[in-house]
Each structure stands twice: as C-alpha cells, then as structure tokens.
Amino acid sequence: MNNSNIYGTPVNDEVDPNRMSIPVNGVGEILINRTHEGLIVDVFGLGEASHSLASIALMNEDVLNSYADAVQDKVCMLDRTICIDEEDVAQYFDNRLSVEEAAIEYLKGYEFDPSTLIPLKGWTNKLIFTEKSVVAYLSLTPEVAKVLPCNEADFFMTNDGVVIFSLELSDGSVNLFPVLGDYAQEILSRQTIFGNILRSGELSPSIKQELHRIGFSLASVGDSCYDFVNEFSPLNSSSTRGNHNSFAVRASFNVENSQLDLSVGLKSADGFDSEVRVISTDSLVNDEDKDLRAMVRRELSHIHKQIPSFPLYLMSQKYGSTFNDLLNSLDELSILLQKTPE
C-alpha cells in the first residue's frame, strides 16, 4: 500500500519543539507530545472541536532501551568493542539528544589510540563523502592526530575490521568517519598485497612463495615477526672477507603491529652492519611511484658526508654492479607489494 497520499507533512510546533503534528488526509491529525515522563500520541478527528479519538502513552522506560540500543549501534560503527554506560545514555535521553548527537557526545570523551589504525590504499572526494555521512564521528585533536600511522592515507582500518575515513580540518584536528556497506567492501577490494598483509595480520604461503621467487629467503621468525633477506655477493668476494661478505636487503614484517621496515646493509657471518633504513609502513600505502633506489643513494650520500668511512657507502662505490643488483631487488619488492591480488 502506498502511504504517500495519506500523510501530510509533519509540522513541528514553533513554540514547543517537543510537539509535532502530522496531518492525515480525510481523518484529522496525529499529535505527538513529549513530556518529562514519556511520549503521548493523540489522534484527532476533523474539525476545530474534534476530541481525541485515541491516545497512547509511552513512558520513558518503555523507549529508553531502544534509544540505548540505537546509540550503541551508532558508536559501534567506529569501534565494535565500545559498551556505553547506562547512566550516560540516560543523561543523553534526558537532555533530549538525538541518537546521532548522543553518539557524537559520547565519542568526545572516548580515549582512542589512532596509532593502532592500519592505513589503507585509496583516496576519495572528501567533500562529497562527508556530505553523505550522517553517522557519528570521532574527533582527534591536532596533538593526538600526529600519531596517525600515515598522514597520506584517506582510509584506515581498525583492529576489529572497521574501515574509517579521515578528514583533516584547517586547525589540524582530524575527524574519523566509519565507511559502511558496499563502499567499505570496495575499498578493501582495492588493497594491494602489502595492504592485505597489514589487514590480515599474516603472511600467506602464496606471499612467501612470491618473496622467494624474487630472491628473498626467510632468515628468521619471531613472535609475529618475519625477516626476509636477499643477499648479493661481489664476484671477487674473497677480497671482502673479514668484516663484510655481501650486500643485503632486509624486509622485516611485524604482522601483529602491522609494520614493515625495509633496510639495506652489509651482511657477514656475525649479522648485519652499516644498515640504512629505506622505507617504513606508511610510505608504501598510497605512493606507488616511490623511487627506492634514489632514496637509498640519497641517504647513503647524506651519511657519507657525516661519516666518510661509512662501510656501506665505500662498498657501494667499489662494487657498483653488485650494488645495482641490490637496488633492482628493491624495485622488484616494491612492485610485488603494490600489486593487487588476482
């Protein structure tokens, strides 16, 4: 049945915002009145002298539970672990806050650690997105927002799988909005192999196989940590005996903390030396054109100016061809991590 021709446009009382009148064509009107005790619904017939045809009274306790559930649902759009205190909900209800207003009010005092967010690949039209967002949001002060794991990302994911959109304001504060439904699934479907590692918190056998294919061997496994190493020895390796035997790229995945560190250095039987950090987790999220080899050379040049005898720099100059093989390996790794799974 189509109700579009039955009801007129609801009209709020200009004097009392707790009263609303809903015209019903051919019948009369429905008058909704909220008091300090609850909600009263009266049905009036046609005519100025019409009396109430029927009346329903709903006490506050009759509707408080549904209000609390609605506020809880709104807040859990951002964090599924939140459980709002009953006294807080009762206070919001007494203050006549809407469900959205109550959720936002609660989140103002909620302590949230943004460093736990996992950055996701993708950008969006922020103005269009926020105009369509009618859900609760979490506001981070400029100081707290500084610990976001990636200031280049538009999207993040919480540890319990909620996709979040971030909007930076002119004062440096950041508002976090939940991304819902099909849009959230679309964002997740666009994530790279690297993004899926961060999101799932594990290195699948297929990813390990791909790393092995481009020359990275699993060097060590710790608690949720995987170290992959790719070594490159100069042809006349006998001349490098003693302190260092080979160049090496190390990719350290910490799947529990959703972190990846890439570094290059010199490797001997005693371990790594002269390591230079190349890149970290946040730099790989939205930047597909990161020139890793240029970053390595720039960092080495910077270190060499401060430490002229820095071993990795001297070895890179002496064995340029082998060092270039290492840089090619970095490029291959970057391409692999930025691929979208088939």
Same domain, 306 and 214: yes
Same domain, 227 and 267: yes
Instruction: Please give the sequence-ordered ranges of beta strands (E in DSSP) within the chain, or none if there are none.
Output: 11-12, 19-24, 28-34, 38-44, 52-59, 118-120, 138-140, 155-157, 163-168, 174-178, 217-221, 225-232, 246-254, 259-268, 271-280
Same domain, 315 and 291: yes
Domain-embedded: residue 92: no
Q: Number of structural domains, the chain? A: 3
pLDDT of residue 248: 92
Same domain, 212 and 303: yes
Residue ending a domain, among 190, 207, 224, is 190
pLDDT of residue 201: 66
Identity at 135, one-letter amino acid code: V
Which residues, other chains included, contact 52 with Cβ-Cβ below 8 Å and sequence gap of 6+?
A: 42, 43, 44
Domain-embedded: residue 3: no
Cα–Cα distance, 327 to 301 (Å, whole number): 15
* Coil vs helix vs strand at 27: coil
Domain-embedded: residue 248: yes
Strands, sheet with 174-178, edge to edge from the N-terminal-most edge strand:
118-120, 155-157, 163-168, 174-178, 138-140
List phi, psi (to 5°) of 248. Answer: -155, 145
Tokens standing for residue 59: 């006490």
Which residues, other chains included, contact 340 with Cβ-Cβ below 8 Å and sequence gap of 6+?
A: 190, 191, 192, 193
Same domain, 288 and 202: yes
Same domain, 154 and 201: no
Domain-embedded: residue 66: no
Our CA angle for 315, 320, 321, nearest 5°, is 130
Classify the C-alpha dihedral 142-146-147-153 as positive or negative: positive
Domain-embedded: residue 246: yes
Domain-embedded: residue 81: no
Cα–Cα distance, 180 to 11 (Å, whole number): 32
Same domain, 239 and 323: yes
Residue ending a domain, among 139, 157, 190, is 190
- Residue 77 CA neighbour count, 13 Å, CB half: 26
Contact 176, 138 (CB under 8 A): yes
Cα–Cα distance, 33 to 13 (Å, whole number): 10
Which residues, other chains included, contact 185 with Cβ-Cβ below 8 Å and sequence gap of 6+?
A: none
In 3D space, the residue among 335, 121, 129, 106 whose CA is nearest the CA of residue 213 turns out to be 335
Our CA angle for 324, 327, 333, nearest 5°, is 145
Q: Which domain, by its residues, includes 53?
A: 11-60
Cα–Cα distance, 220 to 49 (Å, whole number): 87
pLDDT of residue 319: 92
Same domain, 235 and 291: yes
Same domain, 157 and 246: no
Full-model pTM? 0.55
Same domain, 39 and 140: no
In 3D space, the residue among 152, 150, 78, 155 whose CA is nearest the CA of residue 124 turns out to be 155
Same domain, 286 and 238: yes
Q: Which residues of the chain have pLDDT under 50?
A: 1-6, 127-128, 130-132, 134, 237-242, 282, 286
pLDDT of residue 257: 67
Same domain, 202 and 320: yes
Domain-embedded: residue 96: no
Contact 310, 296 (CB under 8 A): no
Q: 316-339: per-residue pLDDT in tens?
A: 999 999 999 998 988 888 888 777
Domain-embedded: residue 74: no
170 class by beta-carbon count within 10 Å (0-12 exposed, 13-18 middle, 19+ buried): exposed
Identity at 134, one-letter amino acid code: V
In 3D space, the residue among 186, 174, 167, 177 whose CA is nearest the CA of residue 121 turns out to be 186
Residue ending a domain, among 171, 190, 209, is 190
Partners of residue 19 on adjacent β-strands: 33
Cα–Cα distance, 324 to 322 (Å, whole number): 5
